[in-house]
Structure formats: structure tokens, C-alpha cells
Amino acid sequence: MEIDRGDGRKPNQLRPVACSRGILNRAHGSASWSQGETKVLAAVYGPKAGTKKNENPEKACFEVIWKPKTGQIGKPEKECEMILKRTLQSICLLNVHPNTTTSIIIQVVNDDGGLLPCAINVACAALVDAGIPLKHLAVAICCSLAKNGRVLLDPNKSEEQNMKGFVYLAFPNSIQSVLPEGSLQVGGEPVEHGIITSVTHGAMSVDDYLLCLQRGRAACEKLSVFIRSSLK
């Protein structure tokens, strides 16, 4: 059963991806990532001296500031900040610079679906541009479940709104073949081939979720090849 996507893509086809680094002058690291029409900008400052009040001073601390395109900062933005912060905390080497704060500022330029995965990707690119030590990259993708059970990768905004449910997934950047994982919600000791982050919207059955995971991981492998080559 073939699904007609609005822009003529196949169910497993991603939107065209563009990534550029070093676009801002004052920031220590900066990157811009666009997937189709969704475009996000990130800047990294750090490491700066001192940690925030309730943070562990023996580790590096991250601060994420999410700036929406228009309007005030509200709860959805705070949630995105928290997810991004925990994702990045799990991929960075926190013991290299203890008692420091690294700030990552995300600016949404255009939102056409799949905003959080774009933000994760751009944050990683900006961290690489700034030279912050990382264990591995986080590659993120959005998988959605259509009403008739097909899994569509990287939906745009209009597709997202018509889906039964969708999930944002972030995997470590790994080109080797994947072993069955121990799955993790954010944080914790990362297993090399595990899922770093998974955020779902809408209801879906467990089988559908596992199918999404499978597709997402395959897509992320392709995406990580692209990222590797663009970061050279």
C-alpha cells in the first residue's frame, strides 16, 4: 500500500539535509542545520568558569537556551531545553573540564516538522565546531506512524499533524552494525549502540514502536555517514 507523501518522497526517504559550521563570529562554535524547510541555528560558548547552583562541581555542566522564532518562551520550549540538555550530557565527556559551564543556544529559524531532531543534530555539530570533547555524536531522526500502519521517516509539519503518532529518536553515531541494545531513556551509562533519547507523541502499539526504532536506526546510520563527511 503506497502512501502519497505531499512532497513526493518515499516512506523511507529523508528530506534534503544541509549542514554548515562556523557561521557566527563571536560564538566559540556555531552551526546551522536544515532538513527540508526546518532550519535551526546553534551557538556554543564555553567552557566558562563555574557551574550553576545545584549542579555537581566535579563534572562539566551544560546550559541549553532555546529561542523560538516568535513569541515568549513557554513550557514547550523549556521541555525541549531539558531534553536537549540531558541528551548532550550523555554524549559529552564530563570529566575533562570539571566545574565549568558550556552554554548552547538554539535559535529556531523555521519550523516545518522534526524540530527536536534538527536541534539535536545542530547542537552536536556546534559542539564539534567549538571543540568540546564528545564520546560520540548523537544523530537524531523523527519517525512517524501513519493511520494505516506505515512508518514514515522525517515527516514535515503537515504530515506530523495527520499522523497517529510520532517519535523523536537519537542514536549514537555508529557505523558498525548494531547489536541488540539495552534501551535507555535519557541519561545513565550509555551502551555503545543504545538509544540515547526517545520522545513519543501520540499513541502507538509496542510493535509499531519497535518498527519505528528499527527504521530510525537504519536512517541514522545513513545520516551519520553524512555528518561524518560534513564535519571533516
Partner 1 sequence: MEQRLANTWRMTVNEKKFIETALHSDLRIDGRRPFDYRELTVKFGREDGSSEVQLGLTHVMGFVSSQLVQPYRDRPNEGTLSVYTEFSPMADPSFEAGRPTESAVELGRVIDRGLRESRAVDTESLCVVSGKFVWSIRIDLHILDNGGNLVDAANIAALAALLTFRRPECSLGGEDGQEVIVHPPEVREPLPLIIHHLPVAVTFAFIGDENMVVIDPTHFEEGIMGGRLTATLNANGDLCAIQKAGGDGVMQSVIMQCLRIASVKAADITAKIRKAVDSYNTERALSKIRRQPASVAVQVTEPNQIEVKELISKHKEKLMLKSEEGGASHSDDMEIEAQSSEQDKSRRRDSTSKSFVGGPLSWDPYSKGVDFEELQASIASRVKVAPVEKLEKSRSDEPYKGESPKLLADSSTSLLSDEKAATGLQIEKEKTLKDAVKPKHKRKKKASTNTDAS
Residues binding partner 1 (CB under 8 A): 24-27, 30, 37, 41, 43, 45, 48-50, 65, 67, 69-71, 101, 103, 105, 107, 109-110
* Cis preceding-peptide flag for 47 (omega within 30 of 0): yes
Nearer residue to partner 1 within complex by CB, 114 or 216: 114
Minimum distance, C-beta of residue 43 to partner 1, in the bound complex (Å)? 4
Comparison of 70 and 229: residue with beta carbon closer to partner 1 = 70
Shortest distance (Å) from residue 136 CB to partner 1: 25
Three-class HEC string of 99-144: CEEEEEEEEEEECCCCHHHHHHHHHHHHHHHHCCCECCCEEEEEEE
CB atoms within 10 A of CB 96: 12
Residue 32's alpha-carbon distances to 43, 76, 141, in angstroms, are: 9, 22, 16
What minimum distance in Å lies between the beta carbon of 147 and partner 1?
A: 23
Measured from the CB atom, is 72 or 177 closer to partner 1? 72
CB of 50 to partner 1, least distance (A): 3
CB of 61 to partner 1, least distance (A): 11
Which CB, 29 or 172, lies closer to partner 1? 29
Alpha-carbon gap, residue 36 to 15, rounded angstroms: 5
Instruction: Find the shortest distance in angstroms from Cβ 176 to partner 1.
Output: 35
Residue with smaller CB distance to partner 1, 77 or 181: 77
d(CA 11, CA 151) in angstroms, rounded, equals: 7
Query: Which one, 41 or 141, has the nearer CB to partner 1?
Result: 41
Q: Which amino acid is at 21?
A: R
Instruction: Name residue, grid cell 552554554.
Output: 103
What does the chain come to in residues? 232
Radius of gyration of the chain (CA): 17
